Amino acid sequence: MKTIFTLLIVFTCIIGRSQNLVADSTFNGTGMAIATSESTAAFCNSMLYQPDGKIVLVGNYLIPHPVFHITGFLTYRFHSTGANDTLYGDSSRTRTKFYPFTEDDVLATALQSDGKIVLAGVAAQNFAMARYRPNGIIDSTFGNNGTVESLYGGGYVKDIRILSNGSILVAGKCGGAFALAQYFPSGLPDTNFGINGLSIAGTNLNSPEPSLMELQPDGKIIMVGQCWDNATGNDWLIMRFKPNGVIDSTFGTNGMTTIDFGTIYDYAVKVHVRSNGKIVVTGNTTAANGSYKFAAAELLPNGTLNSSFGNGGKIIENSTADHNFLYSSLLLSNGDLYLSGNLKVNKDFLKSIPVVMKLNANGQFNYSFANNGYYHLTQNYNTVSYSNMLQQPNGKLLICGYYAQPGYGPQMMVSRYKIVAATTTVNTGVDEFKKNDKVTVFPNPANNFIQIGSNITGEFDVTLFDIEGKTVYKSRNEKRINVSGLSAGVYFIKLETEEKGVVYSTKFIKQ
């Protein structure tokens, strides 16, 4: 009679690198704080964390008008507890308009060493900035009574950094190309940077669209985004500039590198620089069915793909979701990354659920993280959208965006999460088992092959299950199994043999 040897039946465990996110109830009681200051609508695009633990959300507020789409600069500050900071600005908020009927939007923010807050974005389709004192009052010593508008022929700012000498560096789009601009702390253009304070690159490319930037320790500046190629479609575009704004010709090809994921629509969103000089880029690509997916790539310092990362330097998550849009990522001290964005529900682009994934340092998505690799916000809101993410010094995660309940306009929000070890329960349908240490799987974790070690003799079948209990591999009389094609995560094994045996328990991790 055939006896079933099962290496996992009902198994609850704490899995090595497995983690989960849990809403931090010490933050506003629920883990979420909502800025309800606007009667119409408000959208959060970024945030900053102050040394005293206070959190500043930045974005725009909507001014109703029958003809024009009018918005203004908006900030909102919370205490570290999630309570409104009513001593900041006008009862926790600040508002700034450049012109009565224009779209003025904050897209990025930075904190100066003196506590002043600098906002950057767009006003009347031009580079725009504003600076506030630590108490939320406009800083009249900056630019023109607290604001700066650079008439570079149209464009917008997507990112900002405060340099060690106090200068302000911004990145965005101008003249249909990637653009960098640098300003003195007073708000005046730094004419020693680029040409009269402005550097433009990529004017020879088709439809370049910039996203964010990062600085290397040597002061060089990396910008990422996308551009169109008639042969491959929309590709990731990475550029590097010298500290003076001149394109760095030692990077890639004439200062630029493009990455094609083999689909028509690829969008790079964020860039990180590792301590070893390697460059990690995160963003989106599309699957064969047209759904959007989180993706990442790693470059060597010279701009070529790092073949030891992911699959030949690139990786795409393998969820079955309709659309996962990535908006932010965070590089951790151990080299892993968190990626956050939104899952569109049933292909409804007006309804979304925030999602967080984890990418291991080696470029493989960690499917033992949270629920099979995905953390979803579970609050009952009609639409919640994540826009940015950062980590507090105590390790807790802050993720900002906006939320909307039925019948209400969007409002700024920020959530705080604790990172905890995850407990995973898997059921393969057998009621009970007894552990037998004579059955082993090695190496564990594994990259390419696993070897099953046991004293089993005779004919037997072997089946691999993923963490959901789905069969991913089946063979006969095989103890050395090729697992290189499996996604990163936790897997379990079942053996069936003609010999009399007992029930075993074990697992292996695919890196």
pLDDT tens digits in sequence order for the chain, 511 residues long: 444 444 443 444 433 346 788 999 999 998 999 997 777 789 999 999 999 999 999 999 999 999 999 999 999 999 999 999 999 999 999 999 999 999 999 999 999 999 999 999 999 999 999 999 999 999 999 999 999 999 887 899 999 999 999 999 999 999 899 999 999 999 999 999 999 999 999 999 999 999 999 999 999 999 999 999 999 999 999 999 999 999 999 999 999 999 999 888 999 999 999 999 999 999 999 887 778 899 999 999 999 999 999 999 999 998 776 678 889 999 999 999 999 988 876 555 556 778 899 999 999 999 888 888 888 875 555 567 788 999 999 999 999 998 876 667 789 999 999 998 754 444 444 333 334 445 678 888 888 888 887 766 677 778 787 765 677 888 878 888 888 888 877 777 777 665 544 444 567 778 7
| pLDDT at residue 467, as a whole number | 65
Contact (Cβ atoms closer than 8 angstroms) between residue 263 and residue 206: no
Q: Which residues pair with 12 in a beta bridge?
A: 425
Backbone region of residue 101 per phi and psi (left: phi > 0; alpha: psi in -120 to 50; beta: other values)? alpha
Contact (Cβ atoms closer than 8 angstroms) between residue 130 and residue 160: no
| pLDDT at residue 345, as a whole number | 60
| pLDDT at residue 263, as a whole number | 87
Helix (H) or strand (E) holding 296: strand 292-299
The arrangement of strands across the sheet holding 168-174 comes to 155-162, 168-174, 177-183, 198-201
Rounded-to-integer distance, Cα 253 and Cα 205, Å: 13
SS3 of residue 469 by DSSP: coil
Rounded-to-integer distance, Cα 59 and Cα 43, Å: 5
Residue type, 152: Y
Rounded-to-integer distance, Cα 427 and Cα 470, Å: 10
DSSP alpha helices (H): ranges in 141-271? none
What DSSP string describes 236-277?
A: EEEEEE-TTS-B-TTTTBTTEEEE--SSSB-EEEEEEE-TTS
Instruction: Write phi, then psi, for 475 (nearest 5 degrees).
Output: -155, -175
Upper half-sphere CA count for residue 226 (Cβ side, 13 Å):
20
Rounded-to-integer distance, Cα 85 and Cα 463, Å: 57
| pLDDT at residue 28, as a whole number | 95
| pLDDT at residue 405, as a whole number | 67
| pLDDT at residue 38, as a whole number | 75
* The CATH number, out of the four listed (2.60.40, 1.25.40, 3.40.50, 3.60.40), of the domain defined by the range 3-13+426-510: 2.60.40
Which tokens is 498 given? 């003609």
